[in-house]
């Protein structure tokens, strides 16, 4: 799982957040500053609508929860501060 994430893939984990954590994140989402961009990155398009338009943001709210949950899934991971740098042994 972690190798896949580090290589830029997306991993969807069912029920990753408990209800309380999930609801606290939902309350923060409207306050996030985002940057309009597109996927796949690294290619050139005349405008982002010719690719897969999306938005990106640095969102560190609940990062400790996320890091600990990933650690439980894969004991080989060592998180190096600041978040989200990850080192695999």
Each residue's pLDDT tens digit, 29-40: 888 888 888 888
Beta bridge partners of 12: none
Q: Residue 6: helix, strand or coil by DSSP?
A: helix
Average pLDDT over residues 59-82: 70
Q: Please say if the pLDDT value at position 81 is more than 70.
A: no
User: What per-residue confidence (pLDDT) applies to 80?
Assistant: 52
pLDDT score recorded for residue 69: 80
- The answer on pLDDT for 82 being more than 70 is no
Bigger pLDDT: 66 vs 78:
66
Comparing CA positions, the residue from 65, 21, 59 lying closest to residue 79 is 65
Query: Helices in the chain by DSSP H: which ranges?
Result: 2-6, 19-28, 63-73
Query: With 80 as the cut, is the pLDDT of residue 4 above it?
Result: no
């Amino acid at each position: 799982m972690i190798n896949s994430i580090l290589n830029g893939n997306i991993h969807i984990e069912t029920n990753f957040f408990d209800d309380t954590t999930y609801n606290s994140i939902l309350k923060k989402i409207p306050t996030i500053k985002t940057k309009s961009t597109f996927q796949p990155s690294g290619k050139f398009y005349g405008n982002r609508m010719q690719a897969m338009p999306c938005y990106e943001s640095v969102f560190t709210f609940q990062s400790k929860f996320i890091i600990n949950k990933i650690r439980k899934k894969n004991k080989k991971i060592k998180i190096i501060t600041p978040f989200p740098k990850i080192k695999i042994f």
